[in-house]
A = this chain, B = another copy of it.
């Protein structure tokens, strides 16, 4: 195998595929990237068996072949090579020699035969969505995915398509995050539960360009097709929680608040809250004001912010971190918060439209 390519393009594609490569694996070949020549292009594949990334790049193929090279070491070597053309020559014993100006680096590779191939996904149920929208949907919901495996289905995000509407939902038993968007390719109905870890990496690969990507779903897999790069992941099997039932439509108290002011105040209250045992902040809604307090052995915080309040006064308490996780991803200048009682969830929505819905369970305070 022999080819030449530019250092910066090579590095970029290695770093993309590397997102699927485990740092340590009991199967050493998985710590590598599979390089193959295919249709006059270079194809790179990395996988952790849960999801895989394959990416094509243009290269000057001098001799066909394939090899598995250690991913982390290779990317560090290529990153430190000068910004020039690299010539890569793989010998019969899978040693890859990289020549670049006055540098020659030889890396011991592995025979490609044992490298697992990525599953084929039958391209029938496909939607198209803009990269930027998908990236935002992931960023604005993924923090609410369950991290423990007690209910495996909650470690994934529900992606649901109904007509032109695409919805992503994550929930972990304490909070729910929902983000809606539009697709140009209406489907009768489609839903799939994608592992949170996969979506995290998908989010890192998507750039902010307003190009479309396609998402294809089969019974057991989902394929994100970005053109030169394809990400293939297994899906979580089972029924997601009926999230629509959880979100209350009624409220007793509705509050409109400035997101930044609210966020700064809760951020300060968090500093003292996290010194305590249960990371608690208390909200008191009264007379068009929200009073935010926290206390622990280290001290107290008292914050007073102006709000637009409609309905009854209310005292309610939340986990400070869950509240901050949500506020960090909201970009709207103002938000609308609905409350019912001090033991029922708070629902956060935009002032206009229905792009997102967040639900936070309160903490019961015995005081």
Q: Which residues of A contact B (CB under 8 A)?
A: 70, 73, 76-77, 80-82, 95, 102-108, 264-265, 267-268, 271-272, 275, 297-305
Contact = CB atoms under 8 A, between A and B. Distances in A.
Contacts of A77: 268, 271-272
Given A102-B303, A102-B304, A304-B102, A298 B80 contact: no
A327 to B, nearest CB: 14
Given A102-B304, A303-B102, A303-B104, A298 B268 contact: no
A77 B296 CA distance: 14
A104 B275 contact: no
B268 A108 contact: no
27 contacts: A70-B298, A73-B271, A73-B275, A73-B298, A73-B299, A77-B268, A77-B272, A80-B268, A82-B264, A102-B265, A102-B303, A102-B304, A102-B305, A103-B265, A103-B268, A103-B301, A104-B301, A104-B303, A105-B271, A105-B272, A105-B299, A105-B300, A106-B301, A106-B302, A107-B298, A107-B299, A108-B299
Given A80-B264, A82-B264, A264-B82, A301 B105 contact: yes
A240 B343 CA distance: 69
Most chain B C-beta atoms within 10 Å of own C-beta, residue among A108, A299, A301, A305 = A299
A301 B103 CA distance: 7
A80 B81 CA distance: 42
Contacts of A95: 299
B73 A103 contact: no
Nearest to A291: B102
Contacts of A300: 104-106
A313 B231 CA distance: 54
A106 B299 CA distance: 5
Contact of A271 (B76, B102, B297, B302): B76
Contact of A104 (B107, B297, B302): B302
Nearest to A270: B80
A76 B272 CA distance: 10
A108 to B, nearest CB: 5
Contacts of A275: 73
Given A76-B271, A103-B265, 7 more contacts: A73-B271, A80-B268, A102-B265, A103-B303, A104-B303, A105-B301, A108-B297
Contacts of A70: 298
A76 B355 CA distance: 34
A284 to B, nearest CB: 14
A15 to B, nearest CB: 16
Contacts of A297: 108
Most chain B C-beta atoms within 10 Å of own C-beta, residue among A275, A302, A304 = A302
Nearest to A299: B107
A71 to B, nearest CB: 12
Contacts of A304: 102
A105 B105 CA distance: 58
B298 A103 contact: no
Contact of A298 (B108, B271, B298, B302): B108
A36 to B, nearest CB: 21
A304 B102 CA distance: 6
Contacts of A76: 271
